Amino acid sequence: MSERTLFARKATGLVREIGLTVAIIVPMANAIGVGWQLRVFQGMGFYPVPRSQFVLGIPPVTMAFLITGIGCLLSIYAFAVLTAAMPRAGGGYLAISRVLSPLWGMLATLFEWVAVSTAYGQIAVFVMEAVLIFGGFVGIVQVGFFGTPVGLFVFSLFVIAFFSAIAALGARMTGLLLQVIFWIPAAILALVLVLFLIASPSTMAAGVQAQFGASPTAYIQQALDTGLAEAAGGYWPAVFGCILVTYWAFIGYAVTNFIAGEMKEATRNLPKAMFIATGAITAIYIIQSWLLVRVGGIAGVVQDFDLVGATAWMNFGEGSFGDLTAIGPWMPVFAHIQGVAMGIEALTGWATLFFAVLWAANDIPPFILITSRMLFAMAFDRVLPERLADVNERWHSPINAIIATSVVALLGAAAESGLFSKAGIYLGDAFKAFIDGFGMAGTNLWDAFFFASFAIACIFFPLRRPGIFERAPFKHGKTTVMVIGALASLAQLFFIYSFVFTPRGGYYLPGLLREFTFSGFAVWLATLIILGVGIGFYYYYRSRAAVTGADYSTIFAEIPPE
């Protein structure tokens, strides 16, 4: 049987031009984006705990970041073993389809593709939303048309078109752009952490008073008056509750696997890049969350609660700001408070704005890189139309896969912008919920399902692909790999449990186990549609391949060519 019969062609057409530095930055930029800037406030707002109950002085959300990081590092070991053994485009898709089953691999990857593609659209919108949120610090109070739902969606079209055009120029050009928009906010992060370190009770009190017109104790008292103390619970229940929001911050930590087919010296660099990136992400989250809560305590404590906890409660709990000016639940806002007290509010105001905009924007190059490679890998295996595996001969980029991803990104842009809300093009609550289910609400669940499948594949790797396992450049003994794969699988399944069943993650359940809501129902409807489309594509192309003489059992017994 010829190579042409097995795969779309004898070579992928992709070029190994991604170095170690970009391979490390890709998952860091993907994970450290928008949400991590407010996860501390979400966790403390959902699960308030008095400061005196902190174990070893560690806030519950910081402990949750540590536990989540350990779970992710276990998963990284499993992912590194599999991807280094099969360093081809699509990474996890290849591992799941070759170890578990072709259909499982396709469905898990299709869910992940929709999740990340729609996140691409969400972040394209948030680039402008960041200006709306933080622009007031530098005098930008309105952006006219681009502040409306329709305007936000139109703005996202320009962002998607720009980044997709860069991605069409190849992985090297995309990597160069990514480095530019990564190192600037990384430098601002260093400034933010320094401001947290030098903060004092007097400067924080003065900064809050000057910026928001009231003292920190006034804010804490307002939170207490609206039920903060009564809602407080125990430390460890809060830790495990916060794992829901801390995992949200980690999503994207393992995406290097998808670009394995374009990495230089992939068998050596892939494991290294994955561990360095995930270790750095974990360290950044632990340090920034601990310092942020420390600053809250410096600003003042009333009845065992601080300013960060009060801000969290009034934004994400049951409290309200009343007559007080609202404090945004964003980590750089507290750095700006210190800057105001130091008389450098212009510097910290612009730094805060660029921090938010660029940490959002640098999500996008990884999104378009990894999603297009998922489609490419499936098309190269002939479970999707072969045209999605077409590669531009000059730029070595999968043009059609980039276009398809950009089209699906519009669902995420429509959901994030509120395009179909009553302030936009309103077509009814059911239609809006349907778009939100595809474009936003289901993405975390689908992402966790993919990575749980990836981890499960590690358990069976030594048993089902012993020949590849024995030649794998990164591994320990069979038992070690299987045990760590099992631990990684348990961690991923726990993350899924958090999304579905914990009180704050249970927004997936309304419509099934709770009262009916359009939003809860839409998530599961979107899931079933993706599942049905994936199964339909798989069996259609499987039967078509049989007619042309291709044998799927042979295709999925092989690793695709370079």
List Cα–Cα distances, 350 to 45, 138, 179, 265, in angstroms.
27, 6, 21, 40
- The one-letter code for the residue type at 212 is F
CA distance 304 to 35: 27
Confidence of residue 428 (pLDDT cuts 50, 70, 90): confident
Please, which residues bridge with residue 306 across strands?
Answer: 301
CA distance 469 to 84: 10
What's the pLDDT tens digit per position in 79-136? 999 999 999 888 899 999 999 999 999 999 999 999 999 999 999 999 999 998 888 8
Confidence of residue 475 (pLDDT cuts 50, 70, 90): confident
Which of the pair, 484 or 515, is modelled with greater confidence? 484
pLDDT value at residue 518: 67
Three-state secondary structure call for residue 389: helix
What's the pLDDT tens digit per position in 435-464? 777 767 677 788 888 999 999 999 999 999
CA distance 283 to 423: 41
CA distance 449 to 542: 24
What's the pLDDT tens digit per position in 324-383? 999 999 999 999 999 999 999 999 999 999 998 999 899 999 999 999 999 999 999 888
Please, which residues bridge with residue 302 across strands?
Answer: 305
Confidence of residue 11 (pLDDT cuts 50, 70, 90): confident
Confidence of residue 141 (pLDDT cuts 50, 70, 90): confident
Strand-strand pairing, 301-302 and 305-306: antiparallel
Is residue 301 one of the residues assigned to a domain? yes
Is residue 419 within 8 A of residue 150, CB to CB? The reply is yes
For residue 3, pLDDT over 70 is answered with no
Range of the structural domain that residue 61 is part of: 3-555
Q: Tokens in use for 326? A: 């609202």
Is residue 562 one of the residues assigned to a domain? no
Is residue 561 one of the residues assigned to a domain? no
Q: Which range has the worst mean pLDDT, 210-224, 314-328, 416-430?
A: 416-430
Is residue 372 one of the residues assigned to a domain? yes
Three-state secondary structure call for residue 46: helix
Sign of CA dihedral 507, 512, 514, 517: positive
Three-state secondary structure call for residue 9: coil
Confidence of residue 505 (pLDDT cuts 50, 70, 90): low
> Can you give the CATH number for the domain in which 217 is found?
1.20.1740.10
Please, which residues bridge with residue 301 across strands?
Answer: 306
pLDDT value at residue 510: 46
Is residue 551 one of the residues assigned to a domain? yes
pLDDT value at residue 64: 95
What's the pLDDT tens digit per position in 297-341? 999 899 999 999 999 999 999 999 999 999 999 999 999 999 999
| Phi and psi at residue 306, to the nearest 5° | -120, -175
Is residue 296 within 8 A of residue 308, CB to CB? The reply is yes
Which of the pair, 510 or 247, is modelled with greater confidence? 247
Question: pLDDT over 90 for what percent of the chain?
Answer: 65
Q: Tokens in use for 453? A: 């499948």
- Taking alpha carbons only, the member of 307, 290, 291, 309 closest to residue 299 is 307
Is residue 110 within 8 A of residue 95, CB to CB? The reply is no
CA distance 90 to 53: 45
Is residue 24 within 8 A of residue 18, CB to CB? The reply is no
Average pLDDT over residues 488-501: 86
- Taking alpha carbons only, the member of 415, 397, 436 closest to residue 522 is 436
Confidence of residue 550 (pLDDT cuts 50, 70, 90): low
Is residue 123 one of the residues assigned to a domain? yes
For residue 509, pLDDT over 60 is answered with no
Average pLDDT over residues 411-416: 90
Is residue 536 one of the residues assigned to a domain? yes
Angle at 116 between CA 115 and CA 117, to 5 degrees: 95
- Taking alpha carbons only, the member of 179, 15, 170, 25 closest to residue 89 is 15
| Phi and psi at residue 480, to the nearest 5° | -60, -45
List Cα–Cα distances, 429 to 118, 221, 294, 418, 548, in angstroms.
20, 38, 42, 12, 46
Is residue 21 one of the residues assigned to a domain? yes
For residue 279, pLDDT over 80 is answered with yes
Three-state secondary structure call for residue 488: helix
List alpha helices for 199-329, DSSP H. 201-212, 216-225, 228-231, 235-250, 266-299, 307-316
CA distance 480 to 484: 6
- Taking alpha carbons only, the member of 122, 30, 76, 12 closest to residue 370 is 30
Q: Tokens in use for 458? A: 């590690």
Domain count, the chain: 1
Q: What residues contact 81, with CB distance under 8 A and at least 6 apart?
A: 271, 458, 461, 472, 474, 475, 481, 485
Mean pLDDT estimate for the chain: 89
List alpha helices for 17-90, DSSP H. 20-31, 39-46, 60-85
List Cα–Cα distances, 217 to 206, 228, 432, 505, in angstroms.
12, 14, 41, 31
Q: Which range has the worst mean pLDDT, 207-216, 239-248, 320-329?
A: 239-248
pLDDT value at residue 166: 95
CA distance 493 to 470: 28
